[in-house]
Amino acid sequence: MSLQCGIVGLPNVGKSTLFNCLSNAKAQSANFPFCTIEPNVGVITVPDERLNKLAEIVHPGRIVPTTVEIVDIAGLVKGASKGEGLGNQFLGNIRETDAIIHVLRCFDDDNVVHVDGTVDPVRDKAVIDTELQLKDLETVESRLPKVEKLATMGGNKDAKIEYNVLKAYKEVLEQGKNARAISFESKEEQQAARNLFLLTSKPVLYVCNVDEGSAASGNAYVEQVREAVKEEEAEILVVAAQTEADIAELETYEERQEFLQEAGLEESGVNRLIKAAYKMLQLETFITAGEMEVKAWTFHKGWKAPQCAGVIHTDFERGFIRAEIIKYDDYISYGSEAGVREAGKLHIEGKEYVMQDGDIVYFRFNV
């Protein structure tokens, strides 16, 4: 399941430093605009403490976590929607992603130049928003005349639905708001909206890149961002990218934990960011556990058991009979699959069962 989050922001806000921490790939990180030209793609392991707990019980040959793709997209600048900088290329890279991680500079450092001369994360956010909104407005306005003609003269039902969606988007974009500010009730409208692939309709996670001393509790810049995005219902993460880079250089788990403890952090910002990105993509995890391996599998929230079986193999979905489900907490509580069975806690579920995050499952099938 190849879903991507794109890291965006102005030049020199810490995108590539953060990407380097997230990924084994080493995106170029330099103190000048446009040091990232081609988007760097990293396949990132999703941290899941449940796998280690299960492995302590099952003693498998290996542990296989799930992954998500993160794309480091070069810094946007004012005028990108009109082709400034490397605008059209960057906007095209964003369009190909499923969600956006928007990095905002929330630290002072005279040694790292800011493309606009001063640190102001709310202004920086507005620059990016405006460029994406202008591009979306261009998309909407170029499509409207054709769809309007089909809707009014041809009586095309699908065109009428799309026309209403386009009008709604045009109105909100002209107000300087993002397309995600509105939602549609009917499935037909929702599909028409998805088919437009608007940049500002994508879910967004704001990452405030702070100095090391602000990693645990944030700073005044972070509070300005919180105030600016409070109506968006978007999540905000506080991360010190340079601190994360220092953590990434440490060789052992114990050293990293000691570093985090000294910094007053329970978990690294990278781990929190990956988990938040996974959640933003509406992804959840089911687990298979046996002597060969304990493995995490990714599925879309709301998927039913046969669809999830198909994640393992298409034959599993085609010949689905039932799913034998053990809840993670029950597995840990009773200490083994046999213990769960004896306690009557193993659930037999059919085709209509909606899989839950953390379900440990064995699929029965026949083809």
Task: Give the CATH number of domain 130-200.
Answer: 1.10.150.300
- Positions at the binding site for ATP: 12-17
CB under 8 Å to 25, separation ≥6 — which residues?
19, 40, 41, 42
State how far the Cα of 324 lies from the Cα of 308, in Å rounded to an integer: 13
For residue 207, give the 3-state DSSP assignment: strand
- The C-alpha R_g of the chain, in whole angstroms, comes to 23
| DSSP code of residue 14 | S
Q: Which CATH number fits domain 302-365: 3.90.920.10, 3.30.470.20, 3.30.430.20, 3.10.20.30?
A: 3.10.20.30
What pLDDT was estimated at residue 327? 97
Domain 4-48+66-115+203-280 superfamily per CATH = P-loop containing nucleotide triphosphate hydrolases (3.40.50.300)
What pLDDT was estimated at residue 33? 37
Residue ranges covered by each domain of the chain: 4-48+66-115+203-280, 130-200, 302-365
Say whether pTM exceeds 0.75: yes
CB under 8 Å to 277, separation ≥6 — which residues?
5, 68, 70, 99, 101, 205
Is the distance from CB of 167 to CB of 140 less than 8 angstroms? no
What pLDDT was estimated at residue 27? 36
User: What residues pair up with 359 in beta bridges, in sequence order?
Assistant: none
pLDDT tens, per residue, the chain with 367 residues: 567 888 888 888 888 888 888 875 343 333 333 333 445 777 888 889 999 999 999 999 999 998 888 888 766 656 645 654 444 556 777 888 899 999 999 999 888 777 777 899 999 999 999 988 998 999 999 999 999 988 887 678 889 999 999 999 999 999 999 999 999 999 999 999 999 999 999 999 999 999 989 988 899 999 999 999 988 878 999 999 888 888 888 878 788 889 888 888 888 888 888 889 899 989 999 999 999 999 999 999 999 999 999 999 999 999 999 999 999 999 999 999 999 999 999 999 999 999 999 999 999 999 8
DSSP string for 55-82: HHHH--SEEE--EEEEEEPPPP-TTGGG
DSSP string for 317-342: HHTEEEEEEE-HHHHHHHSSHHHHHH
SS3 content of the chain, % helix, strand, coil (to 5): 45, 20, 35
Is the distance from CB of 242 to CB of 17 less than 8 angstroms? yes
- Positions at the binding site: 12-17
